[in-house]
């Protein structure tokens, strides 16, 4: 196994739930991420899939310290040494941000319409004081723009002049301008036309080849994850229920939830983008089911499933599944 870049252990994010009305009281909490272990190797892409509300965005943002973490551990193994990311605060956390960046879903909402493309891309460099002069910033912006296939003639324009695909290139250039080791890409192609999606995925793969960046790629689209990810993690109600190399997961999904996800998709042709929707209601994340969280919808549930939460365990060396009966149920 190659060297890990990011190691996440027992990560939990809980959001408070307040009552409505004049006197808002705290009445409970949402377990958006609930005990996630995940290890990302240098230069790989891990896809993160699951239904809406399963906690994908929250997990990605928690690793970037963009939402408060309730519990757990996040470590980065950088060339200069190991960093305990949850121990960082203030100026040290701000400076660490050059190592990890986010690419947003919506290229229309995420770029400031009053800034030129040059200023949008330059902002992280300038904010972190990573360039000595304006000339150095310009040089770096031109270089990364070219790598992201943005016409440098356009750097003085404003984002409204660009199409969705071009805007997403700007978002990617901005995320990469500081040379981060790690990117969280939160549904980066979901808002784009199918014809543009492949361009952006190819660009991301080329950039990864050049820079060796590690990607956590969040998507609800299994066809997209099949194209870009080396491994895939499947989330359900805040937990990872299955993690395997992409091809292995597609050929032999073992968790009943993953199997349901695959059978819910009529076609895996690239470009068919459909929300993952399964039979049965998603339980309220403020009151998750006991034991295995999938037991209320699982066709194979038995009494033990209601009582005991299944551990994420290895059925093959790199194929992890959180189901008590995975061996028996394997198709």
Ligand X SMILES: Nc1ncnc2c1ncn2[C@@H]1O[C@H](COP(=O)(O)OP(=O)(O)OP(=O)(O)O)[C@@H](O)[C@H]1O
Give the number of residues in contact with ligand X, rule: CB under 6 A: 13
- Residue 295: C-alpha distances to residues 36, 51, 308, 327 (Å): 19, 16, 11, 17
301 binds, among ligand X, Mg ion, ligand SF4, none (CB under 5 to 8 A by kind): ligand SF4
**Residues 251-270 interacting with ligand SF4 (rule: CB under 6 A):** 256
Cβ proximity to Mg ion: between 57 and 166 the closer is 57
Provide, rounded to whole angstroms, the least separation between the CB of residue 77 and ligand SF4: 33
Among 85, 243, 292, 312, binds ligand SF4 (CB under 6 A): 292
Residues at the site binding Mg ion, with contacts judged by CB under 5 A: 57
Strand 71-78, strand 319-321: pairing: unpaired
DSSP string, 268-324: --TT-------SSPPPPTTSPPSSSTTTTT-TT--HHHHHSPPP-EEEETTEEE--T
Among 97, 99, 220, 259, binds ligand X (CB under 6 A): 220
Cβ proximity to ligand X: between 47 and 285 the closer is 285
The answer to whether the CB of 185 falls within 8 A of the CB of 217 is yes
218 φ, ψ (degrees, to nearest 5): -90, 130
Provide, rounded to whole angstroms, the least separation between the CB of residue 9 and ligand SF4: 22
Instruction: Give 85's Cβ-side CA count (13 Å radius).
Output: 29
Give the H/E segment covering residue 205.
helix 194-211
The binding track of 166-205 with respect to ligand X, each residue x by CB under 6 A or -, is ----------------------------------------
Among 55, 159, 256, 289, binds ligand X (CB under 6 A): 55
Among 108, 154, 158, 325, binds ligand SF4 (CB under 6 A): 325
The tokens of 103 are what? Answer: 């690419």
**Closest to 123 (Cα-Cα) out of 174, 65, 170, 160:** 174
Helix 164-176 vs helix 117-127: crossing angle, to nearest 10: 20
Indicate the SS3 state at residue 67. Answer: coil
Provide, rounded to whole angstroms, the least separation between the CB of residue 237 and ligand SF4: 11
Q: Write down the residue that tokens 């993953």 correspond to.
A: 258
Question: Using the rule CB under 6 A, is 56 a contact of ligand X?
Answer: yes
Stretch of 53-61, 76-84, 149-157, 319-327 contacting ligand X, by CB under 6 A: 53-61
Stretch of 46-54, 134-142, 152-160, 240-248 contacting ligand X, by CB under 6 A: 46-54
Alpha carbon 112 to its chain's center: 23
Question: Using the rule CB under 6 A, is 50 a contact of ligand X?
Answer: yes
Cβ proximity to ligand X: between 50 and 159 the closer is 50
Question: Using the rule CB under 6 A, is 285 a contact of ligand X?
Answer: yes
Among 4, 7, 9, 15, binds ligand X (CB under 6 A): 15
Give the H/E segment covering residue 194.
helix 194-211
Question: Using the rule CB under 6 A, is 30 a contact of ligand X?
Answer: yes
**Residues 99-158 interacting with ligand X (rule: CB under 6 A):** none
Helix 164-176 vs helix 134-147: crossing angle, to nearest 10: 130
**Closest to 121 (Cα-Cα) out of 94, 91, 147, 142:** 142
Cβ proximity to ligand X: between 12 and 130 the closer is 12
297 binds, among ligand X, Mg ion, ligand SF4, none (CB under 5 to 8 A by kind): none
Instruction: Catalog residues that contact ligand SF4 under the rule CB under 6 A.
Output: 256, 292, 294-295, 298, 300-301, 305, 310, 323-325
Instruction: Catalog residues that contact ligand X under the rule CB under 6 A.
Output: 15, 30, 32, 50, 52-58, 220, 285
């Amino acid at each position: 196994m190659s060297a890990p870049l990011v190691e996440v252990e027992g990560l939990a994010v809980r959001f408070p739930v307040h009552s409505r009305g004049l006197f808002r009281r705290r009445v409970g909490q949402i377990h958006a991420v609930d005990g996630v272990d995940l290890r990302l190797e240098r230069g790989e892409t891990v896809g993160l899939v699951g239904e809406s509300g399963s906690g994908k965005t929250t997990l990605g943002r928690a690793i970037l310290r963009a939402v408060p973490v309730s519990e757990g551990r996040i470590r980065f193994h950088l060339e200069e040494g190991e960093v305990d990311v949850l121990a960082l605060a203030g100026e040290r956390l701000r400076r660490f941000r050059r190592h990890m960046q986010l690419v947003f879903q919506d290229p229309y909402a995420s770029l400031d319409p009053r800034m030129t493309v040059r200023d949008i891309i330059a902002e992280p460099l300038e904010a972190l004081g990573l360039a000595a002069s304006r000339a150095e910033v310009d040089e770096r912006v031109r270089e990364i723009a070219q790598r992201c296939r943005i016409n440098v003639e356009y750097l003085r324009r404003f984002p409204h002049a660009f199409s969705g695909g071009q805007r997403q290139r700007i978002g990617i250039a901005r995320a990469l301008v500081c040379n981060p080791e790690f990117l969280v890409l939160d549904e980066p192609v979901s808002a784009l036309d199918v014809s543009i999606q492949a361009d952006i995925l190819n660009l991301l793969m080329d950039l990864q080849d050049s820079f060796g960046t590690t990607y956590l790629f969040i998507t609800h689209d299994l066809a997209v994850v099949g194209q870009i990810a080396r491994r895939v993690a499947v989330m359900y109600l805040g937990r990872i229920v299955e993690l395997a190399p992409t091809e292995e997961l597609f050929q032999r999904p073992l968790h009943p939830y993953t199997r349901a996800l695959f059978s819910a998709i009529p076609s895996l042709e690239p470009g068919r983008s459909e929300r993952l929707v399964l039979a049965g209601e998603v339980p309220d994340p403020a009151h998750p089911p006991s034991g295995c969280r999938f037991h209320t919808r699982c066709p194979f549930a038995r009494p033990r499933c209601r009582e005991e939460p299944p551990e994420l365990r290895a059925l093959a060396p790199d194929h992890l599944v959180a189901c008590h009966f995975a061996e028996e149920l394997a198709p």
